[in-house]
Amino acid sequence: MVCADRTPLHSAKATILASLKQVLACPTLASEQEYYTHSIKLETIDLIGLMPFIDMSQKVLFCDREGGRQYLGLKFIKTFTDTFSLEQARKLIKHHQELIILGGQRFHPGQKPSQEWESLGSHYYVLPQFIFSRKNDQTNLLINIPKAAFNNSTLAVKLLMELEGILTFKGHAQKKFDFKPYKQVPSFDQWKAQVEKAHRSFSRDELDKVVLSRKEVLSSQQPIRPDQVFEHLALKTGEHFIFHIQWRHDQSFTSITPERLFKLSGQDLYSDAIAGTRPRGTNQQEDSLLAQELLSNKKELSEHRFVSSSIKDTMKAIGCHDIEIDDGESVLKLSHVQHLYTKLKAKISKTPKVLDLIEAFHPTPAVGGKPKADAVDWLLCTEEYDRGYYAAPVGVMDRDGAEFCVAIRSALVYGRELHVYAGAGLVPGSCPNAEWDETANKMKNFTSKFMRTPTKVQKSNELHDEQHPSH
């Protein structure tokens, strides 16, 4: 990161601290509400580039795909960790409209978490103490002040010290990673058996489609710093949703996803259909040929239309009207892959609960399958690992509504391990080798950054037999 990215905050440090000190000296600002939100206008800041320079173990970042909104939250002063607390979070926003709450939930909320996901539980939504909010070119620092801090000098001083710590940037040189392949779950032989099982379900008309996933685990001899992993990704806006949450110094989850689950803005409801994949070409001609092949491939079109028709049906089922859907499919081009893409928009008469929208849309056929309930049951019985927050709903809620994306193209930092996830949609005619290779392409958002050379053991049964280093 160049120095200019840090200058707006570094040069404004004294002014920001003075502003907070002045507010804390006004006890009349403490209302009946639980928090008072103090907003400070700043120069335009790239929050993606800023985040790795802030020395704090609790961070959450959300950026929309169009590049218009970025939120960076620091220090979690309230967490919402079960199904019912999601609506409690919405009620809190309703009574205090300056609050912004970010987070997500497991792909299978009712499934017991495996060890690497235990800290997050089934739901994990957070209210940060400090939130940098960027909308288009306007950046604000929002400070959520508990009302007790207005009459308690110890709490006030602590808040000022925490803010000063945030504005004192740590040195942060990029570290060269030496990740090694540790294991793949499932192995390629297990993957083939799972694909064959899916085909048996197709032949018995039990499923129309199912999205099988896998993960590759990379290991490091040294503890992994989530900030360093994030910085190496060299992310940019305008192509993906970006969701990153760090809850401990050595644990974080990052998704670089093209897929919107839904966006609720007033009475307008938006969603996307993204399914059907090809790699990017090595030159413009090859790239165009791959895109044209994608647009004409019956298997890919069938998979994509499963998704778009399912989303349309979901919109109708929750009471939407005036549903608009793109005529024909377009191609969404990303860094390593390109997808068939359709946009949907609708009107909804009564503002729904966010929980109801999540339950209606998740999982989409692009990450679960069709029929929805049967596909989810099949995955629970077949996949031999815990998806955790991979392919799950993650996003942001504020007074204007909510926006959630689907956390595909994702990775988990867990001690000395990096777990990288990807999935492939299976329909009649799917080939195990081709679907495995598709997931490998999707993993390149992470593996291409941290593996020095492409692994030649992608389809081996086991990568390592020795005991993995402890966390």
Report how far residue 367's alpha carbon sits from residue 259's, in angstroms, rounded to the nearest whole number.
Answer: 10
pLDDT for the residue 222: 87
245 to 59, 73, 114, 253: CA distances (angstroms) = 6, 9, 18, 5
Report how far residue 383's alpha carbon sits from residue 186's, in angstroms, rounded to the nearest whole number.
Answer: 8
Domains of the chain with CATH codes: 3-166 (3.60.120.10)
Report how far residue 356's alpha carbon sits from residue 184's, in angstroms, rounded to the nearest whole number.
Answer: 35
- pLDDT at position 176 over 80: no
Phi, psi of 434 (to 5 degrees): -65, -40
Give pLDDT tens digits for 333-374. Answer: 887 788 899 999 999 988 888 999 999 999 988 899 989 999
pLDDT for the residue 342: 93
Confidence band (pLDDT; 50, 70, 90) for 175? Answer: low
What angle in degrees, to the nearest 10, is found between the helix axes of 432-442 and 188-203? 120
Share of the chain above pLDDT 70, in %: 93
CA torsion through residues 450, 456, 458, 462, sign: negative
Give pLDDT tens digits for 182-238. Answer: 999 999 999 999 999 999 999 999 999 999 999 999 999 888 999 989 988 878 777
- pLDDT at position 5 over 80: no
Asked if residue 343 lies in contact with residue 354, where contact means CB atoms within 8 angstroms, the answer is no
pLDDT for the residue 170: 67
274's enclosing H/E stretch is strand 268-279
Is residue 109 helix, strand or coil? Answer: coil
Report how far residue 443's alpha carbon sits from residue 374's, in angstroms, rounded to the nearest whole number.
Answer: 27
Q: In a 10 Å sphere around its CB, with 0-12 CB exposed, 13-18 middle and 19+ buried, how is residue 266 labelled? A: exposed
Q: Give CA angle at 188 (184, 193), nearest 5°.
A: 125
DSSP 119: G
The residue-averaged pLDDT of 272-279 equals 87
Q: Token pair for residue 467?
A: 């005991």
The residue-averaged pLDDT of 394-400 equals 95
- pLDDT at position 142 over 90: yes
Asked if residue 371 lies in contact with residue 310, where contact means CB atoms within 8 angstroms, the answer is no
Confidence band (pLDDT; 50, 70, 90) for 86? Answer: confident
Mean confidence (pLDDT) of the chain: 89
Nearest to residue 174, comparing CAs of 222, 220, 227, 221?
A: 227
- pLDDT at position 33 over 60: yes
pLDDT for the residue 283: 93
- pLDDT at position 466 over 80: no
